[in-house]
Amino acid sequence: MNCIVRSALGRLLFADRGRLFPTLSAARAMSSSGGPTPPFTTLSVTHPDHHITHVELHRPEKRNAMNKAYWSEMVDCFNQIAEDSECRAVVFSGAGKMFTAGIDLMDIAGDLLQPQGDDSARIAWYLRAVVSKYQNTFSVIEKCPKPVVVAVHGACIGAGVDLITACDIRLCTQDAWFQVKEVDIGLAADVGTLQRLPKVIGSRSLVNELALTARKMYSDEAKSCGLVSRVFPDKDSMIAGALEIASEIAGRSPVAVQGTKINLLYSRDHSVTDGLDYMATWNMSMLQTQDLMKSAQAALEKKSPKDVTFSKL
Ligand SMILES: CCC/C=C/C=C/C(=O)SCCNC(=O)CCNC(=O)[C@H](O)C(C)(C)COP(=O)(O)OP(=O)(O)OC[C@H]1O[C@@H](n2cnc3c(N)ncnc32)[C@H](O)[C@@H]1OP(=O)(O)O
Protein backbone atom coordinates (compact mmCIF):
# COMPACT_ATOMS: atom_id res chain seq x y z
CA MET A 1 0.00 0.00 0.00
CA ASN A 2 2.82 2.34 1.00
CA CYS A 3 4.41 1.76 -2.41
CA ILE A 4 1.19 2.44 -4.26
CA VAL A 5 0.72 5.72 -2.39
CA ARG A 6 4.36 6.70 -2.97
CA SER A 7 4.14 5.77 -6.61
CA ALA A 8 0.95 7.82 -7.06
CA LEU A 9 2.52 10.77 -5.23
CA GLY A 10 5.62 10.49 -7.37
CA ARG A 11 3.50 10.63 -10.50
CA LEU A 12 1.69 13.73 -9.24
CA LEU A 13 4.87 15.50 -8.12
CA PHE A 14 6.79 14.80 -11.27
CA ALA A 15 3.96 14.87 -13.77
CA ASP A 16 5.19 18.11 -15.31
CA ARG A 17 8.69 16.74 -15.66
CA GLY A 18 7.56 13.44 -17.10
CA ARG A 19 8.84 12.53 -20.49
CA LEU A 20 8.06 9.85 -22.97
CA PHE A 21 9.67 6.44 -22.74
CA PRO A 22 9.47 5.63 -26.46
CA THR A 23 7.86 2.20 -26.55
CA LEU A 24 6.13 2.42 -23.20
CA SER A 25 4.58 5.86 -23.24
CA ALA A 26 1.06 4.55 -23.72
CA ALA A 27 1.65 1.89 -21.14
CA ARG A 28 2.80 4.44 -18.57
CA ALA A 29 -0.36 6.40 -18.95
CA MET A 30 -2.23 3.21 -18.07
CA SER A 31 -0.29 2.46 -14.92
CA SER A 32 -2.15 4.79 -12.58
CA SER A 33 -3.08 1.98 -10.20
CA GLY A 34 0.56 1.61 -9.18
CA GLY A 35 0.57 -2.00 -10.38
CA PRO A 36 2.69 -3.53 -13.11
CA THR A 37 3.15 -1.34 -16.19
CA PRO A 38 1.66 -2.96 -19.32
CA PRO A 39 2.86 -4.80 -21.32
CA PHE A 40 4.63 -6.08 -18.21
CA THR A 41 2.85 -8.17 -15.61
CA THR A 42 5.67 -8.43 -13.08
CA LEU A 43 7.41 -5.04 -13.40
CA SER A 44 6.38 -1.46 -12.86
CA VAL A 45 8.33 1.11 -14.86
CA THR A 46 8.08 4.79 -13.95
CA HIS A 47 10.06 7.96 -14.54
CA PRO A 48 10.31 9.75 -11.19
CA ASP A 49 12.65 12.44 -12.47
CA HIS A 50 14.41 13.69 -15.58
CA HIS A 51 16.63 10.98 -17.18
CA ILE A 52 15.84 8.45 -14.42
CA THR A 53 13.91 5.21 -14.86
CA HIS A 54 12.56 3.36 -11.82
CA VAL A 55 11.93 -0.36 -12.30
CA GLU A 56 10.05 -2.15 -9.54
CA LEU A 57 9.53 -5.88 -9.13
CA HIS A 58 5.76 -5.91 -8.81
CA ARG A 59 4.19 -9.10 -7.47
CA PRO A 60 3.94 -8.02 -3.85
CA GLU A 61 1.25 -10.56 -2.95
CA LYS A 62 3.70 -13.31 -3.96
CA ARG A 63 6.66 -11.53 -2.36
CA ASN A 64 7.93 -10.63 -5.84
CA ALA A 65 8.71 -14.27 -6.62
CA MET A 66 10.14 -14.50 -10.13
CA ASN A 67 7.61 -16.35 -12.26
CA LYS A 68 7.87 -17.44 -15.89
CA ALA A 69 6.72 -14.06 -17.25
CA TYR A 70 9.31 -12.23 -15.16
CA TRP A 71 12.30 -13.96 -16.75
CA SER A 72 11.31 -12.64 -20.20
CA GLU A 73 9.98 -9.27 -19.10
CA MET A 74 13.26 -8.27 -17.48
CA VAL A 75 15.05 -8.82 -20.79
CA ASP A 76 12.52 -6.74 -22.73
CA CYS A 77 12.57 -4.04 -20.08
CA PHE A 78 16.36 -3.66 -19.92
CA ASN A 79 16.77 -3.89 -23.69
CA GLN A 80 14.34 -0.97 -23.96
CA ILE A 81 16.16 0.97 -21.25
CA ALA A 82 19.49 0.33 -23.00
CA GLU A 83 18.09 1.90 -26.15
CA ASP A 84 16.21 4.74 -24.45
CA SER A 85 18.43 7.73 -25.12
CA GLU A 86 16.52 9.74 -22.50
CA CYS A 87 17.43 7.34 -19.69
CA ARG A 88 20.77 7.91 -17.98
CA ALA A 89 20.37 6.00 -14.70
CA VAL A 90 18.11 3.27 -13.33
CA VAL A 91 16.78 2.60 -9.84
CA PHE A 92 15.62 -0.97 -9.21
CA SER A 93 13.55 -2.00 -6.17
CA GLY A 94 10.78 -4.31 -5.00
CA ALA A 95 7.14 -3.49 -4.21
CA GLY A 96 5.47 -4.55 -0.97
CA LYS A 97 6.85 -6.31 2.07
CA MET A 98 10.24 -7.39 0.69
CA PHE A 99 12.58 -7.17 -2.27
CA THR A 100 12.10 -10.73 -3.55
CA ALA A 101 11.50 -14.33 -2.48
CA GLY A 102 13.59 -15.52 -5.44
CA ILE A 103 12.46 -17.91 -8.12
CA ASP A 104 8.75 -18.78 -8.18
CA LEU A 105 8.78 -22.27 -6.71
CA MET A 106 5.40 -23.07 -8.28
CA ASP A 107 6.61 -22.14 -11.77
CA ILE A 108 9.84 -24.17 -11.73
CA ALA A 109 7.65 -27.27 -11.90
CA GLY A 110 7.23 -26.65 -15.64
CA ASP A 111 10.66 -25.58 -16.87
CA LEU A 112 12.99 -27.43 -14.52
CA LEU A 113 11.16 -30.39 -13.03
CA GLN A 114 9.46 -31.57 -16.21
CA PRO A 115 11.99 -30.70 -18.91
CA GLN A 116 11.09 -31.27 -22.54
CA GLY A 117 12.83 -33.90 -24.68
CA ASP A 118 12.45 -37.60 -25.36
CA ASP A 119 15.99 -38.72 -24.48
CA SER A 120 18.70 -37.55 -22.14
CA ALA A 121 20.61 -35.61 -24.82
CA ARG A 122 17.51 -33.64 -25.82
CA ILE A 123 16.51 -33.05 -22.22
CA ALA A 124 20.04 -31.85 -21.46
CA TRP A 125 19.99 -29.57 -24.52
CA TYR A 126 16.64 -28.14 -23.39
CA LEU A 127 17.85 -27.56 -19.82
CA ARG A 128 20.99 -25.84 -21.07
CA ALA A 129 18.84 -23.43 -23.06
CA VAL A 130 16.62 -22.78 -20.02
CA VAL A 131 19.58 -22.01 -17.77
CA SER A 132 21.14 -19.73 -20.42
CA LYS A 133 17.85 -17.90 -20.82
CA TYR A 134 17.55 -17.39 -17.07
CA GLN A 135 21.17 -16.21 -16.90
CA ASN A 136 20.46 -13.65 -19.60
CA THR A 137 17.68 -12.19 -17.43
CA PHE A 138 20.34 -10.75 -15.14
CA SER A 139 23.14 -10.33 -17.65
CA VAL A 140 20.98 -7.72 -19.41
CA ILE A 141 21.46 -5.51 -16.36
CA GLU A 142 25.22 -5.65 -16.85
CA LYS A 143 24.96 -5.26 -20.61
CA CYS A 144 22.77 -2.16 -20.20
CA PRO A 145 25.21 0.78 -20.35
CA LYS A 146 23.04 2.85 -17.97
CA PRO A 147 24.16 2.39 -14.33
CA VAL A 148 21.66 0.48 -12.17
CA VAL A 149 21.23 1.35 -8.48
CA VAL A 150 19.45 -1.48 -6.67
CA ALA A 151 17.60 -0.82 -3.41
CA VAL A 152 16.84 -3.86 -1.24
CA HIS A 153 14.40 -3.94 1.67
CA GLY A 154 13.42 -7.02 3.68
CA ALA A 155 14.36 -10.34 2.13
CA CYS A 156 16.57 -10.84 -0.91
CA ILE A 157 16.52 -14.58 -1.49
CA GLY A 158 18.04 -16.93 -4.07
CA ALA A 159 17.67 -15.41 -7.53
CA GLY A 160 17.43 -12.02 -5.80
CA VAL A 161 21.12 -12.31 -4.94
CA ASP A 162 21.89 -13.28 -8.55
CA LEU A 163 20.03 -10.13 -9.62
CA ILE A 164 21.69 -7.65 -7.27
CA THR A 165 25.21 -8.85 -8.04
CA ALA A 166 24.63 -7.78 -11.66
CA CYS A 167 23.75 -4.23 -10.54
CA ASP A 168 26.27 -1.41 -10.26
CA ILE A 169 25.42 0.09 -6.88
CA ARG A 170 23.72 -1.81 -4.04
CA LEU A 171 21.82 -0.17 -1.17
CA CYS A 172 19.69 -1.76 1.53
CA THR A 173 17.55 -1.01 4.55
CA GLN A 174 18.44 -1.89 8.12
CA ASP A 175 15.91 -4.76 8.03
CA ALA A 176 17.32 -6.32 4.84
CA TRP A 177 18.72 -9.83 4.70
CA PHE A 178 20.35 -11.79 1.93
CA GLN A 179 20.32 -15.53 1.36
CA VAL A 180 22.08 -17.61 -1.31
CA LYS A 181 19.29 -20.12 -0.91
CA GLU A 182 19.84 -22.43 -3.88
CA VAL A 183 21.50 -25.34 -2.04
CA ASP A 184 18.38 -25.52 0.12
CA ILE A 185 16.27 -26.26 -2.95
CA GLY A 186 18.72 -28.79 -4.34
CA LEU A 187 20.63 -26.85 -6.97
CA ALA A 188 23.81 -24.87 -7.43
CA ALA A 189 23.05 -21.17 -7.91
CA ASP A 190 23.37 -21.01 -11.67
CA VAL A 191 22.27 -17.58 -12.81
CA GLY A 192 25.10 -15.36 -11.64
CA THR A 193 25.70 -15.49 -7.87
CA LEU A 194 28.55 -18.00 -8.00
CA GLN A 195 30.22 -16.03 -10.79
CA ARG A 196 29.64 -12.45 -9.61
CA LEU A 197 29.46 -12.59 -5.80
CA PRO A 198 33.18 -13.49 -5.45
CA LYS A 199 33.96 -10.34 -7.47
CA VAL A 200 31.72 -8.22 -5.25
CA ILE A 201 32.80 -9.51 -1.83
CA GLY A 202 36.52 -9.57 -1.11
CA SER A 203 36.43 -12.69 1.07
CA ARG A 204 36.28 -15.94 -0.88
CA SER A 205 35.76 -17.76 2.40
CA LEU A 206 32.63 -15.73 3.16
CA VAL A 207 31.23 -16.33 -0.35
CA ASN A 208 31.81 -20.05 0.05
CA GLU A 209 30.19 -20.07 3.48
CA LEU A 210 27.11 -18.19 2.26
CA ALA A 211 26.68 -20.32 -0.86
CA LEU A 212 27.36 -23.67 0.80
CA THR A 213 25.27 -23.17 3.95
CA ALA A 214 22.50 -20.83 2.69
CA ARG A 215 22.70 -18.90 5.93
CA LYS A 216 21.09 -15.48 6.08
CA MET A 217 23.33 -12.43 5.99
CA TYR A 218 21.89 -9.28 7.58
CA SER A 219 22.41 -5.68 6.57
CA ASP A 220 25.26 -4.88 8.96
CA GLU A 221 27.35 -7.77 7.64
CA ALA A 222 26.31 -6.96 4.05
CA LYS A 223 27.73 -3.48 4.58
CA SER A 224 30.92 -4.60 6.30
CA CYS A 225 31.72 -7.17 3.59
CA GLY A 226 31.03 -4.73 0.77
CA LEU A 227 27.90 -6.29 -0.71
CA VAL A 228 26.09 -2.99 -0.18
CA SER A 229 27.63 0.45 0.00
CA ARG A 230 24.95 2.10 2.17
CA VAL A 231 22.34 1.05 4.74
CA PHE A 232 19.23 3.20 5.31
CA PRO A 233 16.86 3.14 8.28
CA ASP A 234 13.77 2.41 6.16
CA LYS A 235 12.51 1.94 2.61
CA ASP A 236 11.36 5.51 2.02
CA SER A 237 14.74 6.97 2.95
CA MET A 238 16.49 4.30 0.87
CA ILE A 239 14.43 5.06 -2.26
CA ALA A 240 15.08 8.77 -1.73
CA GLY A 241 18.79 7.96 -1.40
CA ALA A 242 18.75 5.76 -4.51
CA LEU A 243 17.03 8.50 -6.53
CA GLU A 244 19.59 11.01 -5.28
CA ILE A 245 22.48 8.79 -6.45
CA ALA A 246 20.69 8.22 -9.77
CA SER A 247 20.23 11.97 -10.11
CA GLU A 248 23.96 12.58 -9.49
CA ILE A 249 24.76 10.05 -12.23
CA ALA A 250 22.12 11.39 -14.63
CA GLY A 251 23.48 14.92 -14.20
CA ARG A 252 26.84 13.97 -15.68
CA SER A 253 27.94 13.38 -19.26
CA PRO A 254 26.31 10.17 -20.52
CA VAL A 255 29.40 9.57 -22.66
CA ALA A 256 31.57 9.66 -19.50
CA VAL A 257 29.12 7.68 -17.34
CA GLN A 258 28.39 4.90 -19.80
CA GLY A 259 32.05 4.63 -20.78
CA THR A 260 32.91 4.33 -17.08
CA LYS A 261 30.41 1.50 -16.50
CA ILE A 262 31.56 -0.42 -19.57
CA ASN A 263 35.25 -0.05 -18.72
CA LEU A 264 34.78 -0.93 -15.04
CA LEU A 265 33.07 -4.16 -16.08
CA TYR A 266 35.72 -4.90 -18.69
CA SER A 267 38.48 -4.36 -16.12
CA ARG A 268 36.74 -6.63 -13.60
CA ASP A 269 37.12 -9.54 -16.03
CA HIS A 270 40.55 -8.77 -17.54
CA SER A 271 44.13 -8.04 -16.51
CA VAL A 272 45.19 -4.47 -15.73
CA THR A 273 47.20 -4.46 -18.96
CA ASP A 274 44.24 -5.58 -21.04
CA GLY A 275 41.96 -3.13 -19.25
CA LEU A 276 44.30 -0.21 -19.96
CA ASP A 277 44.56 -1.29 -23.58
CA TYR A 278 40.78 -1.48 -23.93
CA MET A 279 40.45 1.94 -22.27
CA ALA A 280 42.96 3.53 -24.64
CA THR A 281 41.09 2.17 -27.63
CA TRP A 282 37.77 3.24 -26.11
CA ASN A 283 38.94 6.80 -25.61
CA MET A 284 40.39 7.05 -29.13
CA SER A 285 36.84 7.88 -30.11
CA MET A 286 35.17 8.97 -26.89
CA LEU A 287 37.69 11.74 -26.10
CA GLN A 288 36.37 13.46 -29.22
CA THR A 289 33.03 14.10 -27.49
CA GLN A 290 31.81 17.66 -27.05
CA ASP A 291 30.87 16.61 -23.48
CA LEU A 292 34.55 16.84 -22.50
CA MET A 293 34.85 20.47 -23.53
CA LYS A 294 31.50 21.36 -21.97
CA SER A 295 32.32 19.62 -18.66
CA ALA A 296 35.84 21.05 -18.45
CA GLN A 297 34.47 24.53 -19.16
CA ALA A 298 31.90 24.12 -16.37
CA ALA A 299 34.62 22.95 -13.96
CA LEU A 300 36.74 26.02 -14.79
CA GLU A 301 33.73 28.20 -14.13
CA LYS A 302 33.14 26.36 -10.83
CA LYS A 303 29.78 25.12 -12.06
CA SER A 304 28.35 21.67 -11.40
CA PRO A 305 28.24 19.22 -14.33
CA LYS A 306 24.52 19.19 -13.59
CA ASP A 307 24.34 22.72 -15.00
CA VAL A 308 25.58 21.49 -18.37
CA THR A 309 23.18 20.32 -21.07
CA PHE A 310 24.43 17.12 -22.69
CA SER A 311 23.06 15.70 -25.91
CA LYS A 312 21.11 12.47 -25.84
CA LEU A 313 23.05 9.23 -26.05
C1 LIG B 1 17.49 -22.16 -13.75
C2 LIG B 1 16.93 -21.60 -12.49
C3 LIG B 1 17.82 -20.71 -11.79
C4 LIG B 1 17.24 -19.99 -10.65
C5 LIG B 1 17.35 -20.41 -9.38
C6 LIG B 1 16.80 -19.68 -8.29
C7 LIG B 1 16.72 -20.20 -7.07
C8 LIG B 1 16.10 -19.51 -5.94
O9 LIG B 1 15.62 -18.41 -6.04
S10 LIG B 1 16.12 -20.36 -4.46
C11 LIG B 1 15.01 -19.46 -3.43
C12 LIG B 1 13.57 -19.88 -3.55
N13 LIG B 1 12.75 -19.14 -2.61
C14 LIG B 1 12.45 -19.58 -1.40
O15 LIG B 1 12.81 -20.65 -0.99
C16 LIG B 1 11.61 -18.65 -0.56
C17 LIG B 1 10.28 -19.29 -0.19
N18 LIG B 1 9.43 -18.31 0.53
C19 LIG B 1 9.58 -18.03 1.83
O20 LIG B 1 10.45 -18.51 2.51
C21 LIG B 1 8.60 -17.06 2.43
O22 LIG B 1 7.45 -17.02 1.60
C23 LIG B 1 9.16 -15.64 2.57
C24 LIG B 1 10.19 -15.61 3.72
C25 LIG B 1 9.84 -15.16 1.31
C26 LIG B 1 8.03 -14.65 2.90
O27 LIG B 1 7.32 -15.04 4.05
P28 LIG B 1 5.94 -14.30 4.40
O29 LIG B 1 5.45 -14.90 5.66
O30 LIG B 1 6.14 -12.84 4.36
O31 LIG B 1 4.97 -14.60 3.18
P32 LIG B 1 4.25 -15.99 2.81
O33 LIG B 1 2.92 -16.00 3.49
O34 LIG B 1 5.15 -17.13 3.06
O35 LIG B 1 4.07 -15.82 1.25
C36 LIG B 1 3.11 -14.94 0.70
C37 LIG B 1 2.70 -15.51 -0.64
O38 LIG B 1 3.83 -15.53 -1.49
C39 LIG B 1 4.04 -16.84 -1.99
N40 LIG B 1 5.48 -17.08 -2.17
C41 LIG B 1 6.50 -16.69 -1.36
N42 LIG B 1 7.67 -17.07 -1.88
C43 LIG B 1 7.41 -17.72 -3.03
C44 LIG B 1 8.23 -18.36 -4.01
N45 LIG B 1 9.57 -18.35 -3.94
N46 LIG B 1 7.63 -18.93 -5.05
C47 LIG B 1 6.27 -18.89 -5.21
N48 LIG B 1 5.43 -18.29 -4.29
C49 LIG B 1 6.01 -17.72 -3.23
C50 LIG B 1 3.46 -17.74 -0.92
O51 LIG B 1 3.18 -19.00 -1.43
C52 LIG B 1 2.22 -16.95 -0.52
O53 LIG B 1 1.24 -17.13 -1.51
P54 LIG B 1 -0.30 -17.35 -1.11
O55 LIG B 1 -0.34 -18.54 -0.23
O56 LIG B 1 -1.01 -17.53 -2.41
O57 LIG B 1 -0.69 -16.10 -0.38
Residues of the chain with pLDDT under 70: 1-33
Name the residue at shortest CA distance from atom 25 of ligand 1. Answer: 101
**Nearest CA to 94 among 229, 194, 2, 11?**
2
**Nearest CA to 170 among 239, 96, 81, 230?**
230
Query: Rounded CA gap, 141 and 15, in Å?
Result: 27
Backbone angles phi, psi at 113, to 5 degrees: -90, -20
At 108 the pLDDT is: 82
For a ligand 1 pocket test, name from 62, 163, 182 the mutation site with the most ligand atoms within 8 angstroms of its C-beta.
62
Give Dmax over CA atoms of the chain in angstroms: 70
CB-CB contact of 295 with 311 (8 Å) = no
At 111 the pLDDT is: 77
At 246 the pLDDT is: 98
For a ligand 1 pocket test, name from 61, 62, 63 the mutation site with the most ligand atoms within 8 angstroms of its C-beta.
63
At 89 the pLDDT is: 98
CB-CB contact of 146 with 258 (8 Å) = yes
If DSSP codes are grouped into helix, strand and coil, which group holds residue 151? Answer: strand
- Specify the amino acid at residue 248: E
CB-CB contact of 50 with 16 (8 Å) = no
At 114 the pLDDT is: 83
Name the residue at shortest CA distance from atom 27 of ligand 1. Answer: 63
Cβ–ligand 1 distance for 191 under 6 Å, the answer: yes
Q: Is the peptide bond before 39 cis (omega within 30 degrees of 0)?
A: yes
pTM of the predicted protein model: 0.90
